Amino acid sequence: MNMGSFNDEQLAFFARITASVTHELNNVIAVINEVAGLLGDMIEDIDSAKSVTPEQLTKIRSRLSTQVARGQTIIKRLNRFAHTADEKTLTFDLVAVMDNLTGLCERLAGMKKVKLDFRPRVDSLVISGNPFFLQQCFFEALRLVLDSDCAGDILTIDIRADSNSANIAFSGLDGSKIEIVKSNTHKLEAIMEEVHGRLQLVDADRSLVLSVPLTQQQGRPPQ
């Protein structure tokens, strides 16, 4: 790890992601626990001379496999996320990093009854900078949008590039305006400054866009 120390805001971001993801992992374990219990109930049934059918066992296996796959996906995402804090500056694929973070944020959005629809305009977008800080920007922008008064249940996240910058756009829920509380944007604006980027509402306030330079985006120095 060559990242230096995190400040309070960065730690809070890391903690929020970790808390949300571990809550989801706990649900996976809770389901596996119940499936194991259900199997125990069936064994008890055999003891009382009732039979367990192959269909019942197949269903148990399927339920377990589903939860194991779900758990593996969550752990893989969290692991990738954790490693983005390894180095202060990296050359990395912005699409892959944000795709991963979108997956980690699904539960947070789900708690607001919002579904995240990750639709980058490009398959990959290699940039140079600090992936951890950019994810913090993404996360704060997502929180702003989720806390806005928008109606609807689908939030589209789009990534595209122009000649100098990479742009991450959060589009209005069901095409509605993003009614962001301006007084809540200071934190995000401050972080965007650190990555030499900017925050803007475009398309008649239907999209919140984070723009960052394709290169030389160093981020905040270690403290």
Partner 1 sequence: MAKIRVLIVDDEEELVSILVERLRFRGYEAVGVLGGNEAIAKALVQEFDVAVIDVKMPEINGIETLRRLKKIKPSLKIILLTGHRAEDEGEEGLAEGAFDYLIKPVNIEDLTGKINAALALENRE
Report the alpha-carbon distance of residue 117 to residue 129 in Å, rounded: 25
Nearer to partner 1, 7 or 26 (CB): 26
Nearer to partner 1, 43 or 181 (CB): 43
To the nearest whole angstrom, how small is the minimum distance from the Cβ of residue 179 to partner 1?
A: 20
Nearer to partner 1, 23 or 198 (CB): 23
To the nearest whole angstrom, how small is the minimum distance from the Cβ of residue 184 to partner 1?
A: 21
To the nearest whole angstrom, how small is the minimum distance from the Cβ of residue 42 to partner 1?
A: 9
Contacts of 88 (CB under 8 A, 6+ apart): 2, 3, 4, 130, 218, 219, 221, 222
To the nearest whole angstrom, how small is the minimum distance from the Cβ of residue 118 to partner 1?
A: 20
Nearer to partner 1, 47 or 162 (CB): 47
To the nearest whole angstrom, how small is the minimum distance from the Cβ of residue 45 to partner 1?
A: 8
Q: How many helices (H) and strands (E) does the chain have?
A: 5, 7
Determine the residue type at 187: K
If phi over 0 gives left and psi between -120 and 50 gives alpha, with beta otherwise, what is residue 215?
A: beta
Query: Within 13 Å and on the Cβ side, how many CA atoms surround 99?
Result: 14
Chain-centroid distance of CA 87 in Å reads 20
Instruction: Return the DSSP state at 172.
Output: P
Nearer to partner 1, 7 or 62 (CB): 62
Q: DSSP 3-state assignment of 138? A: helix
Residues that bind partner 1 (CB under 8 A): 22-23, 26-27, 29-31, 33-35, 37-38, 41, 45, 63, 66-67, 110-113
